Amino acid sequence: MSDLTGQNILLGVTGGIAAYKSPDLVRRLRERGAAVQVVMTPGASRFVTPLTFQAVSGRPVRDELWDPQGEASMGHIELARWASLVLIAPATADILARLAAGRADDLLTTLVLATEARVAVAPAMNRVMWAHPATQANVALLRSRGVEVLGPGAGEQACGETGAGRMLEPQDIAVAVGALLAPTGPLSGRRVLITAGPTRERIDPVRFISNRSSGKMGFAVAAAARAAGAQVVMVCGPVSLPTPPGVRRVDVESAADMLEAVERELPGTDIYVSTAAIADYRPAHPVDRKIKKTGATLELALERTVDVLAAVAARLDRPFVVGFAAETHDVEHYARLKLERKKLDLIAANEVGDDKVFEKDDNALLVLWRDGRRDLGPGSKTAVAQDLMGLIAERFAAVGPAVAAAGADSRK
């Protein structure tokens, strides 16, 4: 876990309740090899003391533009030049507004204006504040200037409400920073196409068939692929997750939509990873008007959807193909059958059920290939995805030049 070795992270901490997570973020970044210098706003010190950050970072905290000792040699310029990345986490609605306006009325905003390093923000605020048109306009403006926006996530908030606005977890931010600053790796120069999330198959304008996939594993795999140096494209079913930094995202709804998007994005792909829970069946006769409740029962005829994974694996110019198998029992048996039947290069299988995997943050995988197997996890989906991507890179390299050449030739 040393993908940030040699990187200097200037971490700006602002005055939001999510500041309590920032010391853990410092620890996560340092675990990956980064040097971390914390800069606090006055509001941040209302939530966490500078001494806490000094203890976890190993560096004195800077919190004052008018510090005679720090500014004796134009310290804010020195810090701005030192940083590989300026990361603000949490980034409150106030700091987003001041950055968008180009303000320089404290040390942190002055550093952002004075740096030539990349800038990233991890927003954290009440869901209504995040949805406000002013905040959205500020975020759009910052994005247009090249600022990376990490999140926010959605869920229960400190105020007791639920919705978008939660700061991403420190581990996820650290992975995102790795993707931003460590573009080289075992998959450098390779193109990875990933599918994620469920599909929805229309019954009528208000109803559909779907499943419990949250997309979390697929998004973690996409972040891990980017951190490994790959160019990553992700085709997603309906999910409410922030796009991993550096990843291009294509949103779809149905299995047919996903097949069309995958076929469009496949040329030039070296590795295809199918984490999506794509519907096996769809209503045979969807209707344009809401079906009314008229009887005690309702029969719904279903027809098979196209198997996207099998279609990719059957191509003459196929990439290295990785499938997923979610099973409630006999996991290895059914996964091995799927590996052989669809002629996959690798398959990652897990056991699912009412209280397993779906909508959870942890996972465990059994990964199979023709003459091998490996257990990954249990652990967070982020950690398991990193291990999986390492194994994919290892197996991709082991197959020799044939698969790699197929992807390269299709790019010519």
Nearest to 24 by CA among 49, 56, 63: 56
Cα–Cα distance, 401 to 396 (Å, whole number): 9
Q: Which three-class secondary structure state does DSSP give residue 311?
A: helix
304 with 327: CB under 8 angstroms? no
At 254, phi and psi to the nearest 5?
-100, 170
Q: How far is CA 364 from the centre of its chain?
A: 18
With DSSP H G I counted as helix, E B as strand and the rest as coil, what are the percentages for the chain, rounded to 5?
35, 25, 40
> From CA 355, how far away is CA 243, in angstroms rounded?
26
Q: What are phi and psi of 292, to 5 degrees?
A: -85, 150
Does residue 236 have an active-site annotation? Answer: no
Distance, in Å, from the CA atom of 260 to the CA atom of 306, rounded to the nearest integer, reads 11
Longest dimension (CA), the chain: 82
Give the integer Cα–Cα distance in Å for 276 and 257: 13
Cβ proximity of 96 and 123 under 8 Å: yes
User: Which 8-state DSSP code applies to residue 174?
Assistant: H
Pairing state between β 8-13 and 85-91: parallel
Q: Point out the catalytic residue in the list 113, 134, 140, 159.
A: 159
Partners of 207 in beta bridges: 204
Q: Rounded to the nearest 5°, which phi and psi values hold at 36?
A: -125, 125
Asked if residues 401 and 264 have their Cβ atoms less than 8 Å apart, the reply is: no
The 85-91 sheet, strands edge to edge: 35-40, 8-13, 85-91, 118-123, 148-149
CA distance 126 to 382: 25
Peptide bond into 90 cis (omega under 30): yes
Structure-block tokens of residue 345: 């290069």
In this structure, what token pair is assigned to residue 4? 């940030």
What phi and psi values does residue 387 have, to the nearest 5 degrees?
-65, -40
Q: Would you please indicate which residues are annotated as catalytic (active-site) residues?
A: 159
